[in-house]
């Protein structure tokens, strides 16, 4: 049956099934090579127009759920996006969240740390940006950079002003552990935590970088530094795999999303968010009898005037 004709409950179920193959809840058995960046779950490029239609319906479904999330004002939702450059983080955020009321959504992009950031522990700047209850907070990059770019370029660690005796071999395992603990704390306090790794292949990244050079409207997106990072591709893939293995949990899962086809990436991300919001059994707050009577009195006043 068409997605359009399904009830909300059935749409949520469909989203759960669709996103499940990419969800990692138990790191121990995870291997990055198990996920093909070009995977489209057997959908062909002829299905692309249909996929776009379904995404539009997904966006509407998400907007309806977010409206209830906001009205209920109990849960917060934290969506973390990590990826190599040009994997499509920005476009995915833009498209998937396009129907959501801007008042209920906050996006933060984390770049290299400032001098003020470096005067604190690495979580400090992220904790300041955590979503309020009733809101969806999006981290475009996050504290996970601390076990990715900082691990690949260890000289960055030296600039973090840590007491030297704390900078030892076990620091990466300690960071994984601290991240797991912080996420557990957030979940226990009513934040839903979903983490997305947009998994692009080296060949597709190269194509997208070349497109940024060829198209004047994309020139601004190209950076020589990004191209240089390609030289560390293998180190990054290893760091991503280790990070996912160490921090994928049932309460704060990773989604490893094939990212060579943007239309497919967006579908999986939208489905995963709908699944998570659907599981909260959101509802508009019910009005008690006294308030109901007040509303009726207000109606009477309005009708008289
Ligand atoms: P886009 O390229 O699509 O505009 P982006 O997220 O790549 O988005 P950039 O300004 O290109 O944004 O890059 C941000 C850079 O900041 C990345 O290279 C990332 O690795 C780096 N960065 C983020 N957090 C940290 C951190 N904690 N320590 C060091 N570098 C970091
Ligand atoms: Mg960049």
Tell me: the pLDDT tens digits for 211-235?
999 999 999 989 999 899 999 999 9
What is the percent of the chain where pLDDT is above 70?
Answer: 100
- Ligand 1 pocket by C-beta < 6 Å: which residues? 85, 90, 109-113, 140-141, 145-146, 149-150, 156, 223
Per-run averaged pLDDT (10 residues), the chain, 305 residues: 85 95 96 97 86 90 96 97 97 95 95 97 98 97 98 95 96 98 98 98 97 93 91 98 98 98 96 96 92 95 92
| Ligand closest to the CA atom of residue 144 | 1
pTM: 0.95
DSSP assignment string, the chain: --GGGS-HHHHHHHHHHHHGGGEE--GGG--GGGS-TT--TT--GGGHHHHHHHHHHHHHHHHHHHHHHHHH---EEEEEEEESTTSSHHHHHHHHTTTS-GGGEEEEE--S--HHHHTS-TTHHHHTTPPPTT-EEEEES-GGGGGTHHHHSTHHHHTT---GGG-STTHHHHHHHHHHHHHHHHHHTTEEEEEEEEE--HHHHHHHHHHHHH-GGGGGG--HHHHHHGGGHHHHHHHHHHHHHHH--SSS-EEEEE-SSHHHHHHHHHHHHHHHHHTT---PPPPPHHHHHHHHHHHHHHHH-
Mutate which of 87, 118, 126, 145 for ligand 1 pocket (most atoms within 8 A of beta carbon): 145
CATH class of the domain defined by 3-304: alpha beta
Ligand 1: residue whose CA is nearest its atom 10: 111
User: Hey, where are the domains in the chain?
Assistant: 3-304
Closest ligand 1 atom to 117 CA: 27
Give ion ligand 2 contacts, CB < 5 A: 85
């Amino acid at each position: 049956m068409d997605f359009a004709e399904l009830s909300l409950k059935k749409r949520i179920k469909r989203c759960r099934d669709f996103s499940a193959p990419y969800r990692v809840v138990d790191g121990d058995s995870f291997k990055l090579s198990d996920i093909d960046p070009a995977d489209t779950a057997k959908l062909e490029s002829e299905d692309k127009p249909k996929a776009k239609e379904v995404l539009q319906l997904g966006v509407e479904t998400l907007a309806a759920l977010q409206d209830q999330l906001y009205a209920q004002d109990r849960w917060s939702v934290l969506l973390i996006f990590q990826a190599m450059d040009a994997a499509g983080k920005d476009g995915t955020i833009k498209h998937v969240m396009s129907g959501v009321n801007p008042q209920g959504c906050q996006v933060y992009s984390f770049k290299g740390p400032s001098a003020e950031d470096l005067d604190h522990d690495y979580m400090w700047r992220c904790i300041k940006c955590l979503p309020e209850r009733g809101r969806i907070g999006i981290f475009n990059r996050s504290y996970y950079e601390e076990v990715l770019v900082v691990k690949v370029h260890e000289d960055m660690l030296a600039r973090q002003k840590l007491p030297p005796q704390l900078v030892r071999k076990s620091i990466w395992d300690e960071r994984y552990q601290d991240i797991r603990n912080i996420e557990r704390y957030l979940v226990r306090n009513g934040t839903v935590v979903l983490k997305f790794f947009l998994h692009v292949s080296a060949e597709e990244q190269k194509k997208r970088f070349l497109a940024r050079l060829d198209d004047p409207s994309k020139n601004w997106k190209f950076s020589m530094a990004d191209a240089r990072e390609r030289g560390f591709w293998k180190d990054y893939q290893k760091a991503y795999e280790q990070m996912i293995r160490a921090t994928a949990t049932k309460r704060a899962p990773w989604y490893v999303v094939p990212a060579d086809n943007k239309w497919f990436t967006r579908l999986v991300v939208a489905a995963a968010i709908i699944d998570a919001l659907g599981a909260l059994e959101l509802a508009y707050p019910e009005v008690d009898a006294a308030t109901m009577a007040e509303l009726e009195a207000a109606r009477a006043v309005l009708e008289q005037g």
